[in-house]
Structure 1
Amino acid sequence: MASFVVLEPSGDRPAADIAFVRDGFAWLGLLLPFFWLLWHRLWIEALLFLAASIGLAMLVEFGGLGVVAPFLSLILALYVGVEGATLQVWAATRRGWRAWGVVEADTLEDAEARYFAERGDAAEPERIVQRAEPSRTVRPGVSGEPALGLLDYPARG
């Protein structure tokens, strides 16, 4: 089963604009990391990747690290492949989106169905009042704890 991070819009955006980011390895992020970052509109991350790549090229040219440079480039591309979904979530939160939580499902359609089934209580006012009080109940698949990988996802708030 795959995990999908659910991102809800905040502010003036319509509630129907909900984004689902699949957590998993991005093969194109490994093979073409710079273009993968640009494709997903991760501008700051793409610039950082470009700066790191240029820095590695300068180390090879002026520092004599010709043997080590391919491994460092591979590690940089591997990082983009492993943490690509987390980079997408971070970029969305910078743009004003709110991370609702994590939904486990096999497909995107199943993730949408599970999300809307859990959020189906929006039409019942008495349940909204109950949810307004802070609680620390842990639901399966929704966690603020670090996920598999180097970075964690923000807790549902």
Structure 2
Amino acid sequence: MTVYSVYEPSDAAQDLEARAEALQFVKEGFSWPAFLVPALWLIYCRMWVEFALFIAVFGALQWGLGLDKPGHEVLGWLLAGLFALFAFQANDLRGAALERRGYRLVGLAEGKGRTEAELSFFKSWLAQQAKSGRSGESKPETARGKQSLPPVSRNEGEDVIGLFPQA
């Protein structure tokens, strides 16, 4: 199963169809496009701050390590490792970039693929919209229709790392 975080712009239209079109589904986990072509992936996702940082960090690494033959080999291995690390964090960075642009987390969707996840999310989301009788603010839902916790910004709850609270 693949899990997607679903984000809605804070200035969403009142029309239910327009709101549904504006939703952004962000896959949780490893991103192959971000691993294979990270700069193009950042441009495609319109993550300009992250793109500038990416260019600065990788440009500095290439300048610092790529001047001689042993430096090229070390640079190659270092870049491969950093690309893998970036690919594991890329979708989290995309979610943070969406929140920075005014989107809010409205729920989770899960399915064998994106299409199945979208269908299951919209089935429960549309039922919730009809039940509330308005197309405005809604409570977050999971794809199975169970009520989940309200959205939490990325800065809240930082006293817990994974399953372990900080000492």
TM-score (normalizing by structure 1):
0.70
Structure 2: which 5+ runs fail to align?
A: 140-145, 153-160, 163-167
4+ residue segments displaced more than 3 Å:
61-65, 139-144
State the distance in 2 between where 1:88 and 1:98 align.
Answer: 12
One-letter amino acid of the structure 1 residue matched with residue 40 of structure 2: F
For the aligned residue pairs, the C-alpha RMSD in angstroms reads 3.3
Hey, what does 2:11 align to over in structure 1?
11
Are residues 1:31 and 2:36 paired? yes
Separation in structure 2 between the aligned mates of residue 141 and residue 84 of structure 1, nearest angstrom = 24
1:113-124 equivalences in 2 (<5 Å)? 113-119=119-125, 120-124=127-131
CA displacement 1:26-48 (0-9 Å, x = unmatched) = 22221221122112211111111
> Taking every aligned residue pair, what percent have the same amino acid on both sides?
28
> What is the Cα deviation at residue 63 of structure 1?
10
Judged with a 3 Å threshold, the aligned counterparts in structure 2 of structure 1 residues 116 and 88 are, in CA distance, closer, same or farther, namely same
2:116 paired with 1:110:
yes
| Paired residues for 1:83-98 under 5 Å | 83-98=89-104
Which residue of structure 2 lines up, in the alignment, with residue 50 of structure 1?
55
What is the TM-score normalised by the length of structure 2?
A: 0.67
- Given that 1:103 and 1:141 are in contact with CA atoms closer than 8 Å, whether structure 2 keeps it comes out as no
SS in 1 for 2:19: coil
User: How many pairs were matched up?
Assistant: 137
Mind listing any 5+ residue stretches in structure 1 that lack a counterpart? 133-138, 145-150, 153-157
Deviation of residue 65 (structure 1)?
A: 7.2
